[in-house]
Protein backbone atom coordinates (compact mmCIF):
# COMPACT_ATOMS: atom_id res chain seq x y z
CA UNK A 1 0.00 0.00 0.00
CA UNK A 2 1.10 3.60 -0.45
CA UNK A 3 1.61 5.60 2.72
CA UNK A 4 -0.17 8.92 2.27
CA UNK A 5 0.49 10.33 5.75
CA UNK A 6 4.00 11.29 6.86
CA UNK A 7 5.78 8.18 8.11
CA UNK A 8 6.91 7.89 11.71
CA UNK A 9 10.24 9.47 12.56
CA UNK A 10 13.13 7.03 12.97
CA UNK A 11 14.71 6.74 16.41
CA UNK A 12 18.41 6.49 15.57
CA UNK A 13 21.39 5.80 17.85
CA UNK A 14 25.03 5.01 17.22
CA UNK A 15 25.76 2.63 20.09
CA UNK A 16 24.68 -0.99 20.55
CA UNK A 17 21.46 -1.46 22.48
CA UNK A 18 22.58 -2.98 25.84
CA UNK A 19 19.60 -5.34 25.84
CA UNK A 20 20.54 -6.64 22.40
CA UNK A 21 24.15 -7.14 23.48
CA UNK A 22 23.07 -9.17 26.51
CA UNK A 23 20.90 -11.37 24.31
CA UNK A 24 23.67 -11.73 21.73
CA UNK A 25 25.90 -13.47 24.29
CA UNK A 26 23.81 -16.59 23.70
CA UNK A 27 21.79 -15.75 20.59
CA UNK A 28 24.64 -14.56 18.31
CA UNK A 29 22.06 -12.58 16.31
CA UNK A 30 20.51 -15.85 15.10
CA UNK A 31 17.60 -14.09 13.36
CA UNK A 32 19.30 -10.76 12.72
CA UNK A 33 22.19 -9.30 10.76
CA UNK A 34 25.43 -9.38 12.76
CA UNK A 35 26.66 -5.79 13.30
CA UNK A 36 30.36 -5.11 12.88
CA UNK A 37 30.63 -4.36 16.61
CA UNK A 38 29.81 -8.01 17.40
CA UNK A 39 32.27 -9.55 14.97
CA UNK A 40 34.83 -11.94 16.45
CA UNK A 41 38.57 -11.39 16.35
CA UNK A 42 40.66 -13.25 13.80
CA UNK A 43 41.91 -16.02 16.09
CA UNK A 44 38.71 -16.14 18.12
CA UNK A 45 36.69 -17.15 15.06
CA UNK A 46 39.44 -19.44 13.80
CA UNK A 47 39.52 -21.37 17.08
CA UNK A 48 35.74 -21.71 17.16
CA UNK A 49 35.62 -22.96 13.55
CA UNK A 50 38.54 -25.35 13.85
CA UNK A 51 36.35 -27.44 16.13
CA UNK A 52 35.36 -28.98 12.79
CA UNK A 53 38.89 -30.26 12.31
CA UNK A 54 38.62 -32.81 15.09
CA UNK A 55 35.68 -34.94 13.93
CA UNK A 56 36.34 -38.68 13.87
CA UNK A 57 34.09 -38.66 10.82
CA UNK A 58 36.99 -37.34 8.71
CA UNK A 59 39.06 -40.40 9.61
CA UNK A 60 36.14 -42.70 8.86
CA UNK A 61 35.20 -41.18 5.49
CA UNK A 62 38.79 -41.49 4.23
CA UNK A 63 38.89 -45.15 5.23
CA UNK A 64 35.52 -45.78 3.57
CA UNK A 65 36.84 -44.20 0.38
CA UNK A 66 40.09 -46.18 0.52
CA UNK A 67 38.14 -49.41 0.98
CA UNK A 68 36.03 -48.54 -2.07
CA UNK A 69 38.61 -47.22 -4.53
CA UNK A 70 42.03 -47.70 -2.94
CA UNK A 71 44.34 -45.31 -1.12
CA UNK A 72 46.00 -43.68 -4.16
CA UNK A 73 42.66 -42.76 -5.73
CA UNK A 74 41.41 -41.55 -2.34
CA UNK A 75 44.39 -39.22 -2.01
CA UNK A 76 43.69 -37.82 -5.48
CA UNK A 77 40.05 -37.28 -4.51
CA UNK A 78 41.18 -35.57 -1.30
CA UNK A 79 43.44 -33.15 -3.17
CA UNK A 80 40.68 -32.20 -5.59
CA UNK A 81 38.22 -31.81 -2.71
CA UNK A 82 40.64 -29.59 -0.77
CA UNK A 83 40.97 -27.34 -3.84
CA UNK A 84 37.19 -27.22 -4.41
CA UNK A 85 36.31 -26.58 -0.77
CA UNK A 86 39.03 -23.95 -0.57
CA UNK A 87 37.70 -21.95 -3.53
CA UNK A 88 34.00 -22.26 -2.66
CA UNK A 89 34.47 -21.35 0.99
CA UNK A 90 36.71 -18.45 0.08
CA UNK A 91 33.78 -16.97 -1.85
CA UNK A 92 31.12 -17.83 0.75
CA UNK A 93 33.15 -16.67 3.76
CA UNK A 94 33.89 -13.28 2.19
CA UNK A 95 30.24 -12.80 1.26
CA UNK A 96 29.02 -13.79 4.73
CA UNK A 97 31.49 -11.45 6.45
CA UNK A 98 30.49 -8.57 4.18
CA UNK A 99 26.74 -9.02 4.64
CA UNK A 100 26.44 -10.55 8.14
CA UNK A 101 23.72 -12.91 6.86
CA UNK A 102 22.92 -16.39 8.09
CA UNK A 103 21.95 -19.22 5.73
CA UNK A 104 18.32 -18.55 6.65
CA UNK A 105 18.50 -14.83 5.80
CA UNK A 106 20.44 -15.38 2.57
CA UNK A 107 17.90 -18.04 1.56
CA UNK A 108 15.14 -15.42 1.79
CA UNK A 109 16.79 -13.56 -1.06
CA UNK A 110 17.30 -16.73 -3.09
CA UNK A 111 13.91 -18.37 -2.62
CA UNK A 112 11.49 -15.79 -1.21
CA UNK A 113 10.02 -15.39 2.24
CA UNK A 114 8.11 -18.69 2.11
CA UNK A 115 10.53 -20.67 -0.05
CA UNK A 116 13.39 -19.93 2.32
CA UNK A 117 11.82 -21.83 5.24
CA UNK A 118 13.13 -25.17 4.00
CA UNK A 119 16.81 -24.15 4.11
CA UNK A 120 17.23 -23.80 7.91
CA UNK A 121 15.18 -26.98 8.45
CA UNK A 122 17.49 -29.02 6.20
CA UNK A 123 20.52 -27.36 7.76
CA UNK A 124 19.33 -28.13 11.30
CA UNK A 125 18.45 -31.74 10.42
CA UNK A 126 21.85 -32.36 8.82
CA UNK A 127 23.73 -30.81 11.74
CA UNK A 128 21.68 -33.00 14.07
CA UNK A 129 22.51 -36.16 12.12
CA UNK A 130 26.22 -35.36 12.32
CA UNK A 131 25.78 -34.64 16.02
CA UNK A 132 24.17 -38.06 16.41
CA UNK A 133 27.04 -39.74 14.57
CA UNK A 134 29.75 -37.98 16.57
CA UNK A 135 27.90 -38.42 19.87
CA UNK A 136 27.48 -42.13 19.14
CA UNK A 137 31.25 -42.37 18.71
CA UNK A 138 31.71 -41.04 22.26
CA UNK A 139 29.11 -43.44 23.64
CA UNK A 140 30.61 -46.46 21.89
CA UNK A 141 34.09 -45.53 23.13
CA UNK A 142 32.90 -45.14 26.73
CA UNK A 143 30.96 -48.41 26.64
CA UNK A 144 33.85 -50.23 24.98
CA UNK A 145 36.25 -49.20 27.72
CA UNK A 146 34.00 -49.10 30.81
CA UNK A 147 31.14 -51.43 29.82
CA UNK A 148 27.54 -50.71 30.80
CA UNK A 149 24.32 -49.90 28.97
CA UNK A 150 24.88 -48.13 25.65
CA UNK A 151 21.64 -46.16 26.05
CA UNK A 152 22.99 -44.62 29.25
CA UNK A 153 26.22 -43.67 27.49
CA UNK A 154 24.17 -42.10 24.69
CA UNK A 155 22.45 -39.94 27.31
CA UNK A 156 25.81 -38.98 28.83
CA UNK A 157 27.22 -38.07 25.39
CA UNK A 158 24.30 -35.72 24.74
CA UNK A 159 23.85 -34.30 28.25
CA UNK A 160 27.41 -33.13 28.82
CA UNK A 161 27.63 -31.43 25.40
CA UNK A 162 24.50 -29.27 25.64
CA UNK A 163 25.63 -26.80 28.35
CA UNK A 164 28.79 -26.18 26.34
CA UNK A 165 26.88 -24.72 23.37
CA UNK A 166 24.45 -22.39 25.14
CA UNK A 167 27.03 -19.61 24.96
CA UNK A 168 27.65 -18.04 21.57
CA UNK A 169 30.78 -18.26 19.42
CA UNK A 170 32.39 -15.07 20.69
CA UNK A 171 31.36 -15.55 24.30
CA UNK A 172 32.45 -19.14 24.84
CA UNK A 173 32.93 -21.56 21.95
CA UNK A 174 36.13 -19.90 20.72
CA UNK A 175 37.76 -20.24 24.15
CA UNK A 176 36.64 -23.84 24.71
CA UNK A 177 37.88 -25.04 21.33
CA UNK A 178 41.07 -23.02 21.52
CA UNK A 179 41.98 -24.79 24.76
CA UNK A 180 41.10 -28.26 23.44
CA UNK A 181 42.81 -27.96 20.02
CA UNK A 182 46.40 -28.72 21.24
CA UNK A 183 45.16 -31.83 23.07
CA UNK A 184 43.62 -33.17 19.88
CA UNK A 185 46.76 -32.48 17.81
CA UNK A 186 49.02 -34.12 20.40
CA UNK A 187 46.58 -37.02 20.61
CA UNK A 188 46.77 -37.62 16.86
CA UNK A 189 50.56 -37.70 17.01
CA UNK A 190 50.49 -40.05 19.99
CA UNK A 191 48.02 -42.48 18.42
CA UNK A 192 50.13 -42.84 15.25
CA UNK A 193 53.30 -43.45 17.30
CA UNK A 194 51.56 -45.94 19.61
CA UNK A 195 50.01 -47.88 16.72
CA UNK A 196 53.39 -48.11 15.00
CA UNK A 197 55.16 -49.28 18.16
CA UNK A 198 52.54 -51.94 18.87
CA UNK A 199 51.85 -53.15 15.33
CA UNK A 200 54.87 -52.13 13.33
CA UNK A 201 54.81 -50.02 10.19
CA UNK A 202 52.08 -51.20 7.77
CA UNK A 203 54.11 -51.40 4.56
CA UNK A 204 51.17 -51.46 2.15
CA UNK A 205 48.87 -48.91 3.80
CA UNK A 206 49.04 -46.66 0.72
CA UNK A 207 48.63 -49.50 -1.76
CA UNK A 208 45.27 -50.99 -0.84
CA UNK A 209 43.47 -52.77 -3.67
CA UNK A 210 40.34 -51.09 -4.97
CA UNK A 211 37.15 -52.92 -5.81
CA UNK A 212 35.57 -52.65 -9.27
CA UNK A 213 33.63 -49.38 -9.62
CA UNK A 214 31.63 -47.87 -12.50
CA UNK A 215 33.58 -44.58 -12.30
CA UNK A 216 37.30 -43.74 -12.02
CA UNK A 217 38.49 -44.12 -8.44
CA UNK A 218 39.58 -40.50 -8.00
CA UNK A 219 36.14 -39.31 -9.18
CA UNK A 220 34.33 -41.71 -6.84
CA UNK A 221 36.41 -40.42 -3.94
CA UNK A 222 35.70 -36.81 -4.92
CA UNK A 223 31.97 -37.56 -5.02
CA UNK A 224 32.19 -39.13 -1.56
CA UNK A 225 33.60 -35.88 -0.22
CA UNK A 226 30.84 -33.96 -2.02
CA UNK A 227 28.50 -35.69 0.39
CA UNK A 228 29.64 -33.28 3.11
CA UNK A 229 29.05 -30.00 1.28
CA UNK A 230 27.02 -29.09 4.35
CA UNK A 231 30.36 -27.60 5.43
CA UNK A 232 29.62 -24.78 2.98
CA UNK A 233 26.47 -23.91 4.91
CA UNK A 234 28.40 -24.23 8.17
CA UNK A 235 30.88 -21.72 6.74
CA UNK A 236 28.21 -19.09 6.09
CA UNK A 237 26.79 -19.25 9.61
CA UNK A 238 30.25 -18.95 11.17
CA UNK A 239 31.87 -16.52 8.71
CA UNK A 240 29.09 -13.95 9.23
CA UNK A 241 30.76 -13.39 12.61
CA UNK A 242 34.07 -12.44 10.99
CA UNK A 243 35.35 -8.88 10.63
CA UNK A 244 35.45 -7.57 7.03
CA UNK A 245 39.14 -6.68 7.37
CA UNK A 246 39.95 -10.33 8.20
CA UNK A 247 38.35 -11.87 5.11
CA UNK A 248 41.66 -12.69 3.43
CA UNK A 249 42.89 -14.62 6.47
CA UNK A 250 39.57 -16.39 7.03
CA UNK A 251 39.16 -17.22 3.34
CA UNK A 252 42.54 -18.93 3.27
CA UNK A 253 43.26 -20.25 6.78
CA UNK A 254 40.06 -20.40 8.83
CA UNK A 255 37.63 -21.65 6.17
CA UNK A 256 39.87 -22.23 3.15
CA UNK A 257 42.46 -24.63 1.78
CA UNK A 258 44.66 -24.58 4.90
CA UNK A 259 41.79 -25.83 7.04
CA UNK A 260 40.82 -28.55 4.57
CA UNK A 261 44.40 -29.70 4.10
CA UNK A 262 44.44 -30.61 7.77
CA UNK A 263 40.79 -31.70 8.03
CA UNK A 264 40.62 -33.92 4.93
CA UNK A 265 44.30 -34.59 4.27
CA UNK A 266 45.93 -35.08 7.67
CA UNK A 267 42.92 -36.67 9.35
CA UNK A 268 42.22 -38.87 6.34
CA UNK A 269 45.77 -40.21 6.06
CA UNK A 270 45.89 -40.92 9.79
CA UNK A 271 42.58 -42.79 9.58
CA UNK A 272 43.83 -44.99 6.72
CA UNK A 273 47.15 -45.60 8.50
CA UNK A 274 45.55 -46.59 11.81
CA UNK A 275 43.07 -49.05 10.38
CA UNK A 276 45.67 -50.65 8.13
CA UNK A 277 48.08 -50.93 11.08
CA UNK A 278 45.46 -52.73 13.17
CA UNK A 279 43.94 -54.53 10.17
CA UNK A 280 40.46 -53.31 11.06
CA UNK A 281 37.69 -52.93 8.51
CA UNK A 282 36.35 -49.46 7.84
CA UNK A 283 33.15 -49.72 9.87
CA UNK A 284 31.59 -46.87 11.81
CA UNK A 285 33.30 -48.05 15.00
CA UNK A 286 36.57 -49.15 13.37
CA UNK A 287 38.29 -45.82 14.08
CA UNK A 288 37.21 -46.00 17.74
CA UNK A 289 38.64 -49.50 18.08
CA UNK A 290 41.94 -48.49 16.50
CA UNK A 291 42.35 -45.42 18.72
CA UNK A 292 41.56 -47.31 21.93
CA UNK A 293 43.79 -50.25 21.01
CA UNK A 294 46.61 -47.82 20.36
CA UNK A 295 46.32 -45.60 23.46
CA UNK A 296 44.04 -47.38 25.92
CA UNK A 297 42.39 -44.96 28.35
CA UNK A 298 44.28 -42.05 26.75
CA UNK A 299 42.52 -43.04 23.51
CA UNK A 300 39.16 -42.69 25.24
CA UNK A 301 40.21 -39.20 26.36
CA UNK A 302 41.30 -38.34 22.81
CA UNK A 303 37.91 -39.39 21.43
CA UNK A 304 36.17 -37.45 24.20
CA UNK A 305 38.13 -34.29 23.36
CA UNK A 306 37.67 -34.63 19.61
CA UNK A 307 33.94 -35.26 19.79
CA UNK A 308 33.40 -32.51 22.34
CA UNK A 309 34.96 -30.05 19.92
CA UNK A 310 32.99 -31.11 16.86
CA UNK A 311 29.66 -31.43 18.64
CA UNK A 312 29.88 -27.89 19.96
CA UNK A 313 29.64 -26.88 16.29
CA UNK A 314 26.93 -29.42 15.42
CA UNK A 315 24.62 -28.53 18.31
CA UNK A 316 25.31 -24.81 17.97
CA UNK A 317 24.26 -24.78 14.30
CA UNK A 318 21.35 -27.18 14.85
CA UNK A 319 19.96 -24.93 17.60
CA UNK A 320 20.40 -21.64 15.69
CA UNK A 321 18.69 -23.05 12.61
CA UNK A 322 15.89 -24.68 14.58
CA UNK A 323 15.35 -21.26 16.11
CA UNK A 324 15.29 -19.62 12.68
CA UNK A 325 12.88 -22.25 11.29
CA UNK A 326 10.50 -22.01 14.24
CA UNK A 327 10.52 -18.22 14.14
CA UNK A 328 9.76 -18.14 10.42
CA UNK A 329 7.25 -21.00 10.05
CA UNK A 330 5.70 -21.39 13.50
CA UNK A 331 6.22 -17.77 14.56
CA UNK A 332 7.49 -19.19 17.80
CA UNK A 333 10.20 -17.17 19.52
CA UNK A 334 12.07 -18.88 22.32
CA UNK A 335 15.63 -18.37 23.64
CA UNK A 336 18.32 -20.35 21.84
CA UNK A 337 19.00 -22.23 25.09
CA UNK A 338 15.58 -23.85 24.66
CA UNK A 339 16.44 -24.91 21.12
CA UNK A 340 19.73 -26.36 22.36
CA UNK A 341 17.63 -28.57 24.63
CA UNK A 342 15.29 -29.48 21.78
CA UNK A 343 18.26 -30.39 19.58
CA UNK A 344 19.70 -32.57 22.35
CA UNK A 345 16.39 -34.36 22.92
CA UNK A 346 15.98 -35.09 19.21
CA UNK A 347 19.58 -36.31 18.99
CA UNK A 348 19.10 -38.70 21.91
CA UNK A 349 15.87 -40.11 20.48
CA UNK A 350 17.61 -40.70 17.15
CA UNK A 351 20.44 -42.51 18.92
CA UNK A 352 17.92 -44.93 20.42
CA UNK A 353 16.80 -45.99 16.95
CA UNK A 354 18.79 -47.91 14.34
CA UNK A 355 20.29 -44.61 13.33
CA UNK A 356 23.15 -46.04 11.27
CA UNK A 357 20.61 -48.03 9.25
CA UNK A 358 19.08 -44.88 7.77
CA UNK A 359 21.67 -42.20 8.56
CA UNK A 360 23.53 -42.51 5.27
CA UNK A 361 20.27 -42.54 3.29
CA UNK A 362 19.00 -39.43 5.08
CA UNK A 363 22.30 -37.65 4.56
CA UNK A 364 22.28 -38.60 0.88
CA UNK A 365 18.85 -37.01 0.37
CA UNK A 366 19.70 -33.94 2.40
CA UNK A 367 23.06 -33.74 0.66
CA UNK A 368 21.24 -33.30 -2.66
CA UNK A 369 19.39 -30.25 -1.31
CA UNK A 370 22.61 -28.90 0.19
CA UNK A 371 24.70 -29.20 -2.98
CA UNK A 372 21.90 -27.53 -4.95
CA UNK A 373 21.75 -24.70 -2.38
CA UNK A 374 25.51 -24.14 -2.62
CA UNK A 375 25.41 -24.02 -6.42
CA UNK A 376 22.55 -21.50 -6.34
CA UNK A 377 24.27 -19.32 -3.73
CA UNK A 378 27.46 -19.21 -5.81
CA UNK A 379 25.58 -18.28 -8.99
CA UNK A 380 23.70 -15.56 -7.13
CA UNK A 381 26.87 -14.05 -5.68
CA UNK A 382 28.58 -14.19 -9.08
CA UNK A 383 25.90 -12.64 -11.28
CA UNK A 384 23.65 -10.52 -9.06
CA UNK A 385 25.11 -6.98 -9.15
CA UNK A 386 23.29 -5.73 -6.04
CA UNK A 387 24.53 -8.63 -3.96
CA UNK A 388 28.03 -8.58 -5.40
CA UNK A 389 28.71 -4.85 -5.03
CA UNK A 390 26.09 -3.58 -2.61
CA UNK A 391 23.72 -4.85 0.05
CA UNK A 392 21.49 -7.87 -0.62
CA UNK A 393 17.77 -7.50 -0.18
CA UNK A 394 16.61 -9.98 2.45
CA UNK A 395 13.91 -7.98 4.27
CA UNK A 396 10.55 -9.74 4.34
CA UNK A 397 8.52 -6.70 3.30
CA UNK A 398 10.60 -6.21 0.17
CA UNK A 399 10.60 -9.76 -1.21
CA UNK A 400 7.98 -11.91 -2.89
CA UNK A 401 6.85 -15.07 -1.04
CA UNK A 402 8.16 -17.50 -3.67
CA UNK A 403 10.78 -16.89 -6.31
CA UNK A 404 11.67 -18.76 -9.48
CA UNK A 405 14.84 -19.63 -7.59
CA UNK A 406 12.80 -21.79 -5.23
CA UNK A 407 11.44 -23.73 -8.21
CA UNK A 408 15.01 -24.15 -9.51
CA UNK A 409 16.15 -25.47 -6.12
CA UNK A 410 13.31 -27.96 -5.80
CA UNK A 411 13.57 -29.15 -9.41
CA UNK A 412 17.32 -29.73 -9.23
CA UNK A 413 16.99 -31.46 -5.84
CA UNK A 414 14.17 -33.69 -7.07
CA UNK A 415 16.28 -34.72 -10.08
CA UNK A 416 19.21 -35.46 -7.78
CA UNK A 417 17.10 -37.65 -5.50
CA UNK A 418 15.68 -39.57 -8.47
CA UNK A 419 19.20 -40.18 -9.79
CA UNK A 420 20.38 -41.25 -6.33
CA UNK A 421 17.56 -43.73 -5.87
CA UNK A 422 17.35 -45.25 -9.35
CA UNK A 423 19.05 -48.62 -9.43
CA UNK A 424 19.42 -49.14 -13.17
CA UNK A 425 22.67 -47.22 -13.61
CA UNK A 426 25.21 -47.18 -10.78
CA UNK A 427 27.36 -44.53 -12.47
CA UNK A 428 24.43 -42.11 -12.71
CA UNK A 429 23.59 -42.68 -9.04
CA UNK A 430 27.14 -41.82 -8.02
CA UNK A 431 27.21 -38.78 -10.30
CA UNK A 432 23.98 -37.42 -8.80
CA UNK A 433 25.72 -34.69 -6.70
CA UNK A 434 27.61 -33.31 -9.70
CA UNK A 435 24.54 -33.43 -11.95
CA UNK A 436 22.51 -31.70 -9.23
CA UNK A 437 25.07 -28.89 -8.98
CA UNK A 438 25.04 -28.31 -12.75
CA UNK A 439 21.23 -28.41 -12.91
CA UNK A 440 20.78 -26.09 -9.94
CA UNK A 441 23.28 -23.56 -11.28
CA UNK A 442 21.79 -23.58 -14.76
CA UNK A 443 18.17 -23.36 -13.63
CA UNK A 444 18.88 -20.58 -11.14
CA UNK A 445 20.84 -18.58 -13.71
CA UNK A 446 17.87 -18.89 -16.07
CA UNK A 447 15.55 -17.78 -13.25
CA UNK A 448 17.63 -14.66 -12.64
CA UNK A 449 17.71 -13.81 -16.34
CA UNK A 450 14.12 -14.49 -17.39
CA UNK A 451 11.85 -14.66 -14.31
CA UNK A 452 10.26 -11.61 -12.64
CA UNK A 453 12.38 -9.94 -9.98
CA UNK A 454 12.11 -11.31 -6.47
CA UNK A 455 12.41 -7.80 -5.02
CA UNK A 456 9.29 -5.68 -4.45
CA UNK A 457 9.57 -2.04 -5.46
CA UNK A 458 8.73 0.05 -2.40
CA UNK A 459 9.74 3.46 -1.14
CA UNK A 460 10.47 4.61 2.39
CA UNK A 461 13.68 2.68 2.90
CA UNK A 462 15.43 3.40 6.25
CA UNK A 463 18.74 2.54 4.58
CA UNK A 464 18.35 5.75 2.56
CA UNK A 465 17.67 7.84 5.66
CA UNK A 466 20.94 7.31 7.54
CA UNK A 467 24.49 8.14 6.49
CA UNK A 468 26.09 4.84 7.55
CA UNK A 469 23.87 1.75 7.51
CA UNK A 470 26.37 -0.23 9.59
CA UNK A 471 26.91 2.41 12.30
CA UNK A 472 23.33 3.59 12.75
CA UNK A 473 20.96 1.61 14.98
CA UNK A 474 17.21 2.11 14.57
CA UNK A 475 14.57 1.34 17.20
CA UNK A 476 12.00 -1.33 16.23
CA UNK A 477 8.43 -0.37 17.12
CA UNK A 478 7.48 -3.99 17.86
CA UNK A 479 10.25 -5.43 20.08
CA UNK A 480 11.52 -2.05 21.33
CA UNK A 481 15.11 -3.00 20.48
CA UNK A 482 17.59 -1.13 18.30
CA UNK A 483 19.23 -3.03 15.46
CA UNK A 484 21.67 -2.05 12.73
CA UNK A 485 20.03 -0.05 9.94
CA UNK A 486 21.01 -2.65 7.32
CA UNK A 487 18.14 -4.89 8.41
CA UNK A 488 15.51 -2.29 9.28
CA UNK A 489 12.43 -1.56 7.20
CA UNK A 490 9.30 0.58 7.50
CA UNK A 491 6.08 -1.16 8.50
CA UNK A 492 3.22 0.01 6.25
CA UNK A 493 0.69 -1.45 8.71
CA UNK A 494 1.93 0.92 11.43
CA UNK A 495 2.21 4.26 9.65
CA UNK A 496 5.69 3.39 8.40
CA UNK A 497 7.20 2.85 11.84
CA UNK A 498 10.58 1.13 11.82
CA UNK A 499 10.61 -2.66 12.20
CA UNK A 500 13.50 -5.11 12.52
CA UNK A 501 14.04 -8.12 10.28
CA UNK A 502 12.89 -10.67 12.87
CA UNK A 503 9.70 -8.85 13.80
CA UNK A 504 8.87 -8.16 10.15
CA UNK A 505 9.07 -11.89 9.41
CA UNK A 506 6.52 -12.53 12.17
CA UNK A 507 4.07 -9.81 11.18
CA UNK A 508 1.00 -10.95 9.27
CA UNK A 509 -0.23 -7.33 9.28
CA UNK A 510 2.92 -6.16 7.49
CA UNK A 511 2.56 -8.90 4.88
CA UNK A 512 -1.06 -7.89 4.21
CA UNK A 513 -0.20 -4.21 4.00
CA UNK A 514 2.66 -4.86 1.57
CA UNK A 515 0.38 -6.90 -0.70
Q: Whole-angstrom Cα distance, residue 242 to residue 394?
A: 20
Which of 330, 357, 384 finishes a domain? 357
- Domain shared by 11 and 71, yes or no: no
Q: Within a domain: residue 375? A: no
Q: Dump the DSSP string for 418-439.
A: HHHH--S-HHHHHTHHHHHHHH
Whether the per-residue pLDDT at 95 is higher than 50: the answer is yes
Are 12 and 83 found together in one domain?
Answer: no
> How many percent of the chain have pLDDT more than 90?
69
Say whether both 135 and 176 belong to one domain: yes
pLDDT of residue 284 exceeding 70, the answer is no
Residue 346 predicted with pLDDT over 50: yes
Q: What is the DSSP letter of 215?
A: S
Q: Model confidence over 247-261: pLDDT tens digits? A: 999 999 999 999 999
* Residue range 479-505: mean pLDDT, rounded: 95
Most confident among 58-62, 87-91, 450-454 (mean pLDDT): 87-91
**Residue 144 sits in the same domain as residue 183:** yes
pLDDT tens-digit map of 370-387: 999 999 999 999 998 766
Q: Is residue 101 part of a domain?
A: yes
52/9 same-domain check: no
Of 357, 378, 410, the one marking the end of a domain is 357
Residue 455, C-beta contacts closer than 8 angstroms, at least 6 positions apart: 393, 398, 399, 400
* Domain contains 85: yes
In DSSP terms, which residues pair with 47 in a beta bridge? Answer: none
Q: What share of the chain has pLDDT > 70, as a percent? A: 94
Q: Does one domain contain both 21 and 116?
A: no
Q: Where a domain ends, among 295, 327, 357? A: 357
Q: CB-based contacts of 168: which residues, under 8 Å, 6+ apart?
A: 24, 25, 26, 27, 28
Q: Do both 92 and 20 map to the same domain?
A: no
| Interatomic CA distance for residues 489 and 473, integer angstroms | 12
Query: Does residue 388 surpass a pLDDT of 60?
Result: no
Indicate the range of 67-76, 85-94, 223-232, 346-355 predicted with least confidence: 346-355
Task: Quote the number of domains for the chain.
Answer: 2
Structural domain of residue 490, as residue ranges?
1-30+454-515
pLDDT of residue 27 exceeding 50, the answer is yes
pLDDT value of position 6: 59
The answer to whether residue 254 sits within a structural domain is yes
- The Cα 24–Cα 285 span in angstroms is 38
Q: Are residues 91 and 109 in the same domain?
A: yes
Give the pLDDT of residue 494: 93
In a domain, 301, yes or no: yes
pLDDT value of position 358: 67
Residues 122 and 237 in one domain: yes
Q: What is the mean pLDDT of residues 49-59?
A: 91
Q: Read off the pLDDT of residues 390-442 as tens digits, 9 standing for 90 and up.
A: 788 999 999 999 999 999 999 999 999 999 988 888 889 899 999 999 999 99
Instruction: Look at residues 513, 514, 483 and name the one whose alpha carbon lies nearest to residue 499.
Output: 483
Q: What is the C-alpha to C-alpha distance for residues 482 and 502, in angstroms, rounded to an integer? A: 12
Same domain, 45 and 26: no
Q: Is the pLDDT of residue 239 over 60?
A: yes
The DSSP secondary structure of 269-313, one letter per residue, reads HHHHHHHHHHT----TTHHHHHHHHHHTHHHHHHHHHHHHHHHHH
Is residue 370 one of the residues assigned to a domain? no
Give me the pLDDT at residue 2, please: 44
Asked if residue 379 belongs to a domain, the reply is: no
Q: What CATH number is associated with residue 92?
A: 1.10.4160.10
Q: What is the mean pLDDT of residues 188-217?
A: 87
Q: Is residue 76 over pLDDT 90?
A: yes
Maximum Cα interatomic distance, the chain, rounded to a whole number of Å: 83
CA-CA-CA-CA dihedral for 213, 215, 218, 219, to nearest 10: -140
* Structural domain contains residue 367: no
> Both 122 and 209 in a single domain?
yes
Residue 5 has a pLDDT of: 54
Q: Quote the mean pLDDT of the chain.
A: 90
Give pTM, 2 decimals.
0.93
Same domain, residue pair 16 and 120: no
Per-residue confidence at 1, pLDDT binned at 50, 70, 90? very low
Residue 86 pLDDT more than 50? yes
Amino acid sequence: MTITTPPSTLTVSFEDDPRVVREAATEDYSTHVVPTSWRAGRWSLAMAWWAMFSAMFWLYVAVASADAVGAPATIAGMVLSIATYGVVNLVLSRYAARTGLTVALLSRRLFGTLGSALAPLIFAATALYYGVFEGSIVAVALQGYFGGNLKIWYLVAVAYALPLVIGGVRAWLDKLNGVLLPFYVLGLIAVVIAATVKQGYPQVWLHSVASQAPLPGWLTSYLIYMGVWIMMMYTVDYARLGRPQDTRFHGTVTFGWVFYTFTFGVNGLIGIYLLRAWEISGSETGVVDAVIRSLGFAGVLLIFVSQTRINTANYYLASTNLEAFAARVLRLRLPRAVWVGVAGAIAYLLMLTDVLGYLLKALAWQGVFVTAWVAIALVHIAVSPADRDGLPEFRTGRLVPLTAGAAAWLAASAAGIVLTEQGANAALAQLAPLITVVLAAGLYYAALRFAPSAVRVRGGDPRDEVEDVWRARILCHVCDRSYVAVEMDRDPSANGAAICSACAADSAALARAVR
